[in-house]
Amino acid sequence: MNVEVSSVSKKSEPISEAAAAIYVLTAEDIRKSGAMSIPDALRMVPGVQVAQIDANKWAVTARGFNGSFANKLLVLVDGRSVYTPLYSGVYWNVQDVLLEDIDRIEVIRGPGATLWGANAVNGVINILTKSAAETKGVFVSGGSGSYDRANGEIRYGRSLKGNGAFRAYGKWFEKDGFDDASGKSTLDAWKMLRGGLRADWELGSNSNLTLQGDAYDGEANTVYHLPSISFPYSQTLHSVAPLRGRILWRA
């Protein structure tokens, strides 16, 4: 299999020479699968367990330790860690780059802590996006449905002076919550607005400079079931949690 990977030793090498159990999910695999999100696409990876907890929460784990706050699986976007410092896990609902911009997803099923740190005890997921030069022009997508109430995506890319290229994207969606067995809403609807950019320059035969950043803003409905001392010995609390992320730069 003539595929180059970079997550095993932090340098590009053929997958046949990589000293790890690694699986590569290509852009073509994602396109053919019909996946609508990154967790959806990861369902195709052997050894990775993906569960959708409700309309706006996912649990993605490898080699056991299942849970929505799995802190033993390192997740990277173009080599940049996206874990949450509060508990060292990942909010999968906000890892929402354009699927059309993903070049491949490299998944290491096994210990990677020696190279990547404590979060990589059970494995590494590295989401690698296409270079700006590969996404020139205009891309527009949109849709609506019974659950996915409305969504839209737009991306623009162009060349820059000095052997460079640039792209910027924006996306928005609003989704209804799920219904339980009785047909009652589970009150987990959510919406989000997201944008980002990437610029690449070729500095020499073996040197490149990349500048990229992303930001998002939204809100998610959440229901909590708490114990109570009176019948029926439980109480239900409903809240609307803000989802906000500052611009994360990587160069």
SS (H, E, C) the chain: CCCEECCCCCCCEEHHHCCCCEEEEEHHHHHHHCCCCHHHHHCCCCCEEEEEEECCEEEEEECCCCCCCCCCEEEEECCEECCECCCCECCHHHCCCCHHHEEEEEEEECCCHHHHCHHHCCEEEEEEECCHHHHCEEEEEEECCCCCCEEEEEEEEEEECCCEEEEEEEEEEEECCCECCCCCECCCCEEEEEEEEEEEEECCCCCEEEEEEEEEEEEEEEEEEEECCCCCCEEEEEEEEEEEECCCCEC
Contact 27, 41 (CB under 8 A): no
> Angle CA(140)–CA(143)–CA(146) in degrees, nearest 5?
165
pLDDT at 251: 53
Whether residue 131 has pLDDT greater than 90: yes
Average pLDDT value over all residues in the chain: 82
Task: Read off the amino acid at residue 63.
Answer: R
Q: Could you give the C-alpha distances from 22 to 9, 11, 222, in angstroms and in order?
A: 12, 14, 35
Bridge partners, residue 131, by sequence: none
**Which CATH superfamily groups domain 4-129?**
TonB-dependent receptor, plug domain (2.170.130.10)
Asked if residue 232 has a cis previous peptide bond (ω within 30° of 0), the answer is: yes
Tokens (6 digits) for 109: 């099923």
**What are the residue boundaries of the structural domains of the chain, listed by start?**
4-129, 132-245
Determine the length of the chain: 251
pLDDT at 248: 55
Whether residue 184 has pLDDT greater than 80: no
Report pLDDT digits (tens) over 205-248.
778 889 998 888 888 777 666 676 777 666 666 566 666 665 55
- Lowest-confidence segment of 20-29, 64-73, 87-96, 194-203 by average pLDDT: 64-73
Bridge partners, residue 220, by sequence: 190, 241
Does the model's pTM come out above 0.85? no
Tokens (6 digits) for 45: 């990876």
By CB atoms closer than 10 A (0-12, 13-18, 19+), residue 43 is: middle
Contact 57, 89 (CB under 8 A): no
- Per-residue pLDDT band for 117 (boundaries 50, 70, 90) equals confident
User: End-to-end alpha-carbon separation of the chain, Å?
Assistant: 31
